[in-house]
Structure 1
């Protein structure tokens, strides 16, 4: 299950994580976000213990999206050792996301 995070918990949950992190920037009103959500949940189960999967609602949390230049949603950031190593904007096939996550391991 993906972890819901906030602007306040971002540093602890993401930047200080010992494992790579997939951050899903989303909003309740976003149709493509809703279609990507089940894939993100599947990835959180498949990579459990290897990669942390978190979700950040951009309507409730606006500091981090601005800081990371998130202009469109859904946006997925792949973060390792506190650094963004990859970024995907829009709905992507699960296989492509699996490849990107495996490259973080």
Structure 2
């Protein structure tokens, strides 16, 4: 199980997310997105804190239009917490650190 954040593309999505054995947090971002820079430290914090029970991947939206369209990402930063093909949580825009950790805790502490 990876302890870091894995960068993926459309081609990797099925293997890295849909077929993963544990829940996966998908972080959609863009290089031109200022708010994404605010979220990045929280994504790294989550990777360190939850590495035993959560896989975290990040996907840049511009080069990966298929997944962005499929998961209806309309703004970045966007998060999709997934277990298999099921979306457990979905957010768009910057959220507070407390809300972010609470969102993860409510799904991961029950597993």
TM-score by length of 2: 0.90
2:85 and 2:21 map into 1 onto residues whose CA distance is 9
1:91 aligns to what?
94
Unmatched 5+ residue regions in structure 1?
none
3-state secondary structure, aligned to 1:69: coil
Equivalent residues of 1:14, 1:79 under 8 A apart: yes
In structure 1, which of residues 9, 12, 20 is the aligned counterpart of residue 12 of structure 2? 9
1:80 and 1:104 in contact (8 A); partners too: no
Question: Which consecutive unaligned segments of at least 5 residues does structure 2 have?
Answer: none
Residue deviations 1:45-97, cap 9 Å, x none? 10012100110000111110011111111110010132111111111111111
Given that 1:17 and 1:82 are in contact with CA atoms closer than 8 Å, whether structure 2 keeps it comes out as no
Mapped to 1, the partners of 2:31 and 2:42 lie a distance apart of 16
Q: Give me the TM-score of the superposition, normalised by structure 1.
A: 0.95
Q: What is the root-mean-square deviation in Å for CA atoms of aligned residues?
A: 0.9
Mapped partners of 2:101, 2:32: distance in 1: 26
